[in-house]
Structure 1
């Protein structure tokens, strides 16, 4: 566990915020409760804002020395994102991952948090409000599914398979248009491509051994730090497109995650040729 932030306490905070601020608003949002940010599909709701406000306030009381980096806090103060790289300790939060789904009444959204210590992700939590359970990882401690009653189950990635048998998730929307068309054509080489519009559930599916690859191009820390650690602790190989490790301050360079390095190299060569 992190020596300064108790992961179980943070996980419980995410659950309480979901029950207080997110679930009561699901399928009950008013017209003034949903707003577009950068584009029509990039949304923020009152659930995002109020849940982050609650998590931020309680995190500040529990861990006053930690920098708080939340998606909505950064939207209000972009300079906050730059503090992550040099922070001795930080809590990174996505109050509602899958906001488009949430606002559409689709029950595929999650609450994510990670702990960053001196430039390294040391804990990651993905809470599913609908299933009421957590996928949790601490660096060096494995990846686990934990339920409120205390029951735990170890998570492990799928066994490697041939390229034409791979099932996975790829977020192609942020790729440059010429490359997007090329990669979409290349994806005909795999068995199946999906996109839940919710990294929280995509990472949970991968770490649970249900799919064989994840690919993302835009790397905001609240979207990917928790899930990448979860995947690695479940046995995965993860790297940016150039083969370098993905670090908390990275927001570009793409990310490809697979069950092993051989699968990574195969997909990078045959499909994700960006």
Structure 2
């Protein structure tokens, strides 16, 4: 169990979405959307205001916790390095899938992870459009929580042969010289897609509707909550070198699969970095 009430943290994310995100959905003016590192890396007024809202509420919920938000790190990159040493931290992505949000596509999420002693111990992924949560605490499973409070325990899909697998793969951050090879290898699977929203990809995985996922860029606000949910739902997640994925990692790639054997097959047959 965590030292933070995960249900209260989930409620903060929901309140932020109601107050700062949904009122701006499909109502953004051009000056409220800015490019960060490249054309597909955006930040909006909704991201910034939602993070400000969440940070204020988290300060009351857990005053001793280090707050690591995506937009906070954009303003102060040194903040990210403190995560590995923090006794307690809350890592937040105010809008995961900002490019979708800015384009008016209803596929975005609000995410938070709780890190204690360098380990992810809880995670929340909230879908503002569906108004429900995926929640996980270490050792307690992964659950879907509806707006009315109904809880359903979730499970990763059973292992299957590569040719029958449905995958979720982000190739945007792959080395350009390896991208054609990996794209060709992905044809060995039944199909693959990319939602441009890690939060919804992890929701799909822990609901049993996809068999694997792979990522190259590992920013903690994108993957800590989801990777924990995968493991608590019975799946397997590890970096490309086989080592565990930890909050301090920002590179090294990540493969998510049903079990270790499936992970090894994907590493060998598809993601041969």
Alignment of 1:49-68 (within 5 A): 49-68=48-67
Q: Displacement of 1:109 after TM fit?
A: 0.1
Per the alignment, residue 74 of structure 1 pairs with: 73
Quick one: distance in 2 between partners of 1:68 and 1:271? 36
Query: SS of the residue aligned with 1:72?
Result: helix
Q: Report how many residues are paired.
A: 273
2:108 pairs with 1:109? yes
Per the alignment, residue 169 of structure 2 pairs with: 170
Per the alignment, residue 20 of structure 2 pairs with: 21
Per the alignment, residue 265 of structure 2 pairs with: 266
Q: Displacement of 1:64 after TM fit?
A: 1.1
CA offsets, 1:227-253, max 9 Å, x none?
A: 000110000111000000000000010
Q: Displacement of 1:58 after TM fit?
A: 1.0
Per the alignment, residue 200 of structure 2 pairs with: 201
2:88 pairs with 1:83? no
Per the alignment, residue 34 of structure 1 pairs with: 33
Per the alignment, residue 233 of structure 2 pairs with: 234
Quick one: distance in 2 between partners of 1:234 and 1:61? 31
Q: Displacement of 1:141 after TM fit?
A: 0.1
Q: Displacement of 1:148 after TM fit?
A: 2.2
Which ranges of 4 or more aligned residues in structure 1 deviate by more than 3 Å? none
CA offsets, 1:146-199, max 9 Å, x none?
A: 012210011100011111111010111101011111100111111101000000
CA RMSD, Structure 1 to Structure 2 (Å): 0.6
Quick one: distance in 1 between partners of 2:117 and 2:240? 24
Per the alignment, residue 43 of structure 1 pairs with: 42
2:246 pairs with 1:247? yes
Q: Give the TM-score normalised by the residue count of structure 2.
A: 0.99
Q: Give the TM-score normalised by the residue count of structure 1.
A: 0.99
Q: Displacement of 1:265 after TM fit?
A: 0.6
CA offsets, 1:93-123, max 9 Å, x none?
A: 0000000000000000000000000000000
Quick one: distance in 1 between partners of 2:197 and 2:94? 12
Quick one: distance in 2 between partners of 1:206 and 1:40? 28
Quick one: distance in 2 between partners of 1:41 and 1:176? 17
Q: Displacement of 1:264 after TM fit?
A: 0.4
Quick one: distance in 2 between partners of 1:32 and 1:254? 34
Quick one: distance in 2 between partners of 1:163 and 1:39? 34
Per the alignment, residue 160 of structure 1 pairs with: 159
User: Gaps (5+ residues) in structure 2?
Assistant: none
Quick one: distance in 1 between partners of 2:46 and 2:234? 33
Per the alignment, residue 11 of structure 1 pairs with: 10
Quick one: distance in 1 between partners of 2:114 and 2:107? 23
Per the alignment, residue 96 of structure 1 pairs with: 95
User: Gaps (5+ residues) in structure 1?
Assistant: none
Q: Displacement of 1:129 after TM fit?
A: 0.1
